[in-house]
Amino acid sequence: MLRSKIAGIGMYVPPHVVSNNDLIQFMDTSDQWIQERTGIKERRYAHRTDETTTTMAVEAAKVAIERAGTKAEEIDFIVFATLSPDYYFPGCAVLLQRAMGMKEIGALDVRNQCSGFIYALSVADQFIKSGMYKNILVIGSEKHSFGLDFSTRGRNVSVIFGDGAGAVVLQPTQNENSGILSTHLHSDGDNAELLAMYNPGTHANHWVKDKLADFDDAAIGEMFMSHSMIDHAQNFPFMDGQAVFKKAVVKFPEVIMEALDANNKKPSDLKLLVPHQANLRISQFVQQKMGLREDQVYNNIDRYGNTTAASVPIALCEAWELGRVSQGDLVCLASFGSGFTWGSALLYW
């Protein structure tokens, strides 16, 4: 049976390290406050003008392509996941295709935020299994630092996020002990506004009246990049952290078990679980709930923060480089994020 295997993997994080103590100059916070709530000690910020979501993706892609033993001109499809594109449109996939001098291949952008890489991997997996493409580049890349509220008002969100990129090259394999076994994707939009960036957007009265009772009609009517919008911090990400946490600790284990059950596997069979790096406390809760040993879960949020769509490939790449996964090992990737969306992928390395 034809499967998709990860033939090469790469990552890139900016050299600029921002510690928790560095954030004190912008907001009322502390290293202890941040670590207790998130497990984060530092994160990376891209250069304000010289680095973009696409340029970081290019660096990660170069490594993945080289490790796959192929060349940029042999890539026949791109799937690019990000919530922080260079432009509102077009998407980053075509910008990467241009930057790497690739052929006139298909280029797809995925907007599933923290779950973006799992969704992108699943899409690419279907194309490989159908025989349509042979070398698919799957990217997760984020530049959050340009759009965060660096004030005490925004600290609950801004201390969490960092910049970076991860990439894999998927290729077909007939090896029964290699490749993606299954992927599992879900969504629930009932509480979409609990983790969202409302503007710029075209929602107008779509939901604002119900959600923001303190806004009068005039203020609501000015929600298109207006002074009112800026005054109410609508141009920055919003997150109800407690609500997201409660949902995540339920859906993370569910979707991981869904992948294991679909393939007649148990948690003890896992060599490694690589969760989206949302919050160290979430990962620890999931580990305990599933009865996994510490060496069965890989976390690096303490050094990179939450890089949303990039976090799974960055963590997977590091784990591989450190020898935490080897050929034939059973690995589960899982994510949960804005939407809400969540997903998992079970694979043999």
148-167 tens-digit pLDDT = 888 888 888 899 999 999 99
Q: Which amino acid is at 279?
A: N
Mean pLDDT of 121-138: 98
Integer CA distances (angstroms), 102 to 120, 123, 167, 181, 300, in order: 19, 20, 16, 29, 32
Can you spell out the DSSP letters for 220-234?
Answer: HHTTTT-HHHHHTTT
* pLDDT tens digit sequence for 283-331: 999 999 999 999 999 999 999 999 999 999 999 999 999 999 999 999 9
Does 249 lie in the same domain as 185?
Answer: yes
Whether residues 276 and 227 share a domain: the answer is no
* Per-residue pLDDT at 297: 98
- Tell me the average pLDDT across 144-150: 90
Range of the domain at 68: 3-173
322 shares its domain with 230: no
Do the Cβ atoms of 56 and 165 come closer than 8 Å?
A: yes
Q: Are residues 160 and 299 in the same domain?
A: no
SS3 194: helix
Q: Which of 279, 299, 300, 306 is catalytic?
A: 306
- The tally of CA atoms less than 13 A away on the side-chain side of residue 10 is 21
Number of separate domains in the chain: 3
Which has the closest alpha carbon to 318: 289, 346, 342, 298? 298
Looking at the fold, whether 14 and 118 belong to one and the same domain comes out as yes
Q: Compute the mean pLDDT over every residue in the chain, rounded to the nearest whole number.
A: 91
Q: Are residues 265 and 153 located together in one domain of the fold?
A: no
CATH assignment of the domain containing 183: 3.40.47.10
* SS3 label, residue 133: coil
- What per-residue confidence (pLDDT) applies to 231? 60
Residue 83 sits in the same domain as residue 231: no
CA torsion 257→258→264→267, rounded to 10°? -10
Chain position carrying tokens 């993997």: 9
Same domain, 8 and 73: yes
Same domain, 91 and 230: no
Which of the residues 276, 299, 300, 317 is marked catalytic? 276
Active site residue 276: yes
Domain identity same for 24 and 148? yes
**302 shares a domain with 271:** yes
Predicted TM-score of the model (pTM): 0.91
Task: Calculate ∠ Cα 254-347-277, nearest 5°.
Answer: 55
Strand order in the sheet with 179-187: 179-187, 341-348, 330-337, 272-275
Residue 306 a catalytic site member: yes
279 is catalytic: no
Q: Report in angstroms the alpha-carbon separations of 75 from 72, 110, 126, 134, 160.
A: 6, 18, 16, 8, 34
pLDDT band at 238 (very low <50, low <70, confident <90, very high): confident
Q: Which of 114, 156, 199, 317 is catalytic?
A: 114
Same-domain check for residues 158 and 18? yes
- Would you state the pLDDT for residue 215? 54
pLDDT at residue 168 is higher than 90: yes
